[in-house]
């Protein structure tokens, strides 16, 4: 069984806007209790068919722990994304994503990594750079999500990331991922990237062998995903429900891209894309 990184989640209901009825009814329950109740009722997660081989087959979006910055500015964000993945898609996600340092043995089971931060961080050691390079070249995918916190320096975090990428992937330049890119069609059809802030319409990527290995947004997706244990949204999204929904959709699409690659660019998908009977 995998070891899960566990951390007490700070409960905050200050930004509750009455968007979800479950949080009102179940206010005061623990997170585990809340999820357990939903699963028992078959309301949110639904009746999932037996797939995979237990916990060993689950998709874990590991969050990278690094030194000298704030590696987890949105502590509840990934958990909420995993929940939405489980609810909306056939992806069997680990509902409590793991956090880990750049250790090859730890990363060997998790080819999808989430790096967030709201301020500059210390340069990685050469050994860590080598591990991250190997991770990406072997097929791993990294999601970079700067957090725009009031007392933070998201630009500084992004400068640190840019410096890290020049070391990890020398000779590979960042490229713009416009809304026409397959990432914007991997599960939902999206016309623009979205998060806590609107930012640019596209994303930035670093590609290895035609696969976008590093997907870098500038929209603070984690801020839009973050939700406390009581079901309250932690941060208000300027664009309201629609923008928050689009942030989740983008998160789902990024994970789907990491799992299915350019699947949606295959000819059958172009041929059947206008049909009303949806499923695959």
**Token pair for 119:** 């301020």
Nearest Cα to 69, choosing from 18, 116, 139? 116
Q: Residue 264 carries which DSSP code?
A: G
Name which position in 21, 40, 41, 53 contacts another protein (CB under 8 A): 53
β-pairing, 175-177 vs 99-100, is: unpaired
126 binds another protein (CB under 8 A): no
User: In the set 92, 130, 167, 175, which binds another protein (CB under 8 A)?
Assistant: 92
Nearer to another protein, 131 or 237 (CB): 131
Binds another protein by CB under 8 A, chosen from 83, 124, 187, 216: 187
Is position 91 an interface residue for another protein (rule: CB under 8 A)?
yes
Angle between helices 126-137 and 154-168 (to 10 degrees): 80
Structure-block tokens of residue 54? 């237990």
Q: How far apart are CA 183 and CA 148, in angstroms?
A: 23
Q: How many CA atoms lie within 13 A of 176 on its CB side?
A: 7
Q: Which residue has 């060993």 as its token pair?
A: 56
Tell me the closest approach of the beta carbon of residue 132 to another protein, in angstroms.
Answer: 11
Q: Please report, as residue ranges, which positions from 128 to 157 form the binding site for another protein (by CB under 8 A).
A: 131, 134-135, 138-140
Q: Does 264 bind another protein (CB under 8 A)?
A: yes
Is residue 268 involved in binding another protein (CB under 8 A)? yes
Q: What are phi and psi of 230, to 5 degrees?
A: -95, 0
Binding of another protein at residue 104 (CB under 8 A)?
A: yes
Sheet of 99-100, strand order: 99-100, 62-64, 112-117, 141-146, 211-216, 203-208, 175-177
**6 lies in the site for another protein, by CB under 8 A:** no
Among 116, 149, 186, 204, binds another protein (CB under 8 A): 186
CA distance 148 to 154: 5
Q: Which stretch binds another protein (CB under 8 A): 22-30, 196-204, 220-228, 266-274?
A: 266-274
Q: How far is the CB of 43 from another protein (least distance, A)?
A: 10
Evaluate whether 20 touches 13 at the Cβ level (below 8 Å). Answer: no
Smallest distance, Å, CB 84 to another protein?
12
Residues in the site for another protein, rule: CB under 8 A?
A: 1, 46-57, 59, 87-92, 104-105, 107-109, 111, 131, 134-135, 138-140, 185-190, 209, 211, 249, 256, 258-264, 266, 268-269, 272-273, 275-280
């Amino acid at each position: 069984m995998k070891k899960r990184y566990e951390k007490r989640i700070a409960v905050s209901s200050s930004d509750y806007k009455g968007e979800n009825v479950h949080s009102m009814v179940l206010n005061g329950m623990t997170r585990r209790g809340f999820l357990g109740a939903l699963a028992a009722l078959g309301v949110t997660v639904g009746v999932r068919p037996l797939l995979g081989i237990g916990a060993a087959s689950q998709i874990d979006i590991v969050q990278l722990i690094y030194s000298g910055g704030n590696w987890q500015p949105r502590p509840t964000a990934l958990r909420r994304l995993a929940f939405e993945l489980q609810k909306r898609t056939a992806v069997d996600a680990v509902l409590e994503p793991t956090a880990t340092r750049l250790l090859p043995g730890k990363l060997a089971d998790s080819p999808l990594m989430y790096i967030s931060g709201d301020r500059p961080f210390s340069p990685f050691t050469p050994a860590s750079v080598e591990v991250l390079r190997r991770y990406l070249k072997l097929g791993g995918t990294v999601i970079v999500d700067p957090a725009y916190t009031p007392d933070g320096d998201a630009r500084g975090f992004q400068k640190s990331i840019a410096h890290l990428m020049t070391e990890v992937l020398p000779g590979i330049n960042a490229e713009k991922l416009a809304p026409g890119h397959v990432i914007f069609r991997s599960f939902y059809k999206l016309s623009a990237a979205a998060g806590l802030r609107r930012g640019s319409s596209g994303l930035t990527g670093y590609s290895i062998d035609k696969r976008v290995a590093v997907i870098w947004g500038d929209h603070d997706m984690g801020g839009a995903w973050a939700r406390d244990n009581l079901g309250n949204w932690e941060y208000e999204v300027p664009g309201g429900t629609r923008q928050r929904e689009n942030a989740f959709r983008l998160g789902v699409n990024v994970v789907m891209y990491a799992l299915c690659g350019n699947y949606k660019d295959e000819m059958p998908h172009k041929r059947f894309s206008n049909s009303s009977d949806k499923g695959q």
